[in-house]
């Protein structure tokens, strides 16, 4: 089955700097890769996703890149702000019966002001 | 729309007790999921359902049972709770159609088993 590894487990940046979180997946057939943000005590919420037929996707300060050959994808946050502090999870699925997500272990991002 | 709701928000059980967690969604989603979240381990899928009357095992199904008698509800049961089941439980739902794959999560249930 699919296995997703996420690095780093914690990341501290200064406000205004960029943050990059990387994930690798094992199943080359996986074709959908979402990123979720979870604030302390809250539910995970989708912030951006990418499909396997796209190499990069951007939404304001957030971007995701996908390298299918290397089986890894990354989240890029530019001009970080204190409200970006949260836990970020990557996930991967092979779309099909149930569309079951396999999540990475998460990255705690701290933005210092 | 309320989205995805979960009942209860918190619960403390003694080892061996049973309980049922209720998940409800008002978005007419076909797919529903139960996850557990433990520190440093992300979210792990317990059971899922692709429609009313169907259930299937996820990554960590042992010690749990589920039922989906109505499309809008997905119940997670613990027949004999164990301390290893102390966790935060999240329910999620999504459409089945391609291109509409976002999973919407409920607020979570924090369960402690003593």
Whether residue A105 lies within 8 A of chain B, CB to CB, comes out as: yes
Could you read off the pLDDT of A37-89 as tens digits, one per residue?
A: 999 999 999 999 999 888 999 999 999 999 999 999 999 999 999 999 999 99
Query: Taking 80 as the threshold, does the pLDDT of residue A95 lie above it?
Result: no
pLDDT confidence of residue A98: 82
Which residues of chain A are within 8 Å of residue B50 when distances are taken between CB atoms? Answer: 97-98
- What residues contact residue A98 under an 8 Å CB cut-off, 6+ apart? B31, B48, B50, B56
B45/A101 Cβ within 8 A:
yes
Q: Do the chains contact at A100 and B33, CB–CB below 8 Å?
A: yes
Q: Kindly give the confidence (pLDDT) of every residue in chain B, 114 residues in length, as a single tens digit, with 9 standing for 90 and above.
A: 789 999 999 999 999 999 999 999 999 999 999 999 998 888 999 999 999 999 999 999 999 999 999 999 999 999 999 999 999 999 999 988 777 789 999 999 999 999
Nearest to A89 among B31, B43, B50 (CB): B43
Measured between alpha carbons, how far is B24 from B75 in angstroms, rounded to an integer? 9
The DSSP symbol for B102 reads P
Say which of A43, A99, A105 has its CB closest to residue B40: A105
Helix (H, G, I), strand (E, B) or coil at A4: strand
Contact B44, B35 (CB under 8 A): yes
First to last CA, chain B: 36
Pairing of strands A19-25, B31-37: unpaired
Supply the pLDDT for residue B69: 96
pLDDT digits (tens, 9 = 90+) for A8-41: 999 999 999 999 999 999 999 899 999 999 999 9
């Amino acid at each position: 089955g699919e296995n997703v590894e996420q690095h780093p487990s914690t990341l501290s940046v200064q406000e205004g700097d960029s943050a990059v979180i990387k994930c690798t997946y094992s199943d080359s057939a996986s074709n959908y890769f979402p990123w979720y943000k979870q604030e302390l005590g809250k539910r995970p919420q989708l912030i951006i996703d990418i499909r396997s037929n796209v190499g990069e996707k951007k939404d304001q300060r957030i971007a995701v890149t996908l390298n299918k050959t290397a089986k890894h994808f990354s989240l890029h946050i530019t001009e970080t702000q204190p409200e970006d502090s949260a836990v970020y999870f990557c996930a991967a699925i092979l779309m099909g019966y149930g569309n079951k997500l396999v999540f990475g272990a998460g990255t705690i991002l701290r933005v210092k002001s | 729309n309320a989205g995805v709701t979960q009942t209860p928000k918190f619960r403390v059980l003694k080892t061996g007790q049973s309980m049922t967690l209720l998940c409800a969604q008002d978005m007419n989603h076909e797919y529903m999921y139960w996850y557990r979240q433990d520190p440093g381990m992300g979210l792990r899928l317990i059971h899922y359902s692709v429609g009313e009357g169907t259930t299937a095992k996820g990554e960590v199904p042992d010690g749990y049972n589920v039922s989906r008698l109505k499309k809008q509800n997905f119940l997670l049961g613990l027949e004999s709770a164990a301390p290893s089941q102390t966790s935060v439980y999240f329910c999620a739902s999504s459409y089945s159609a391609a291109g509409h794959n976002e999973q919407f999560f409920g607020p979570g249930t924090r369960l402690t088993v003593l």
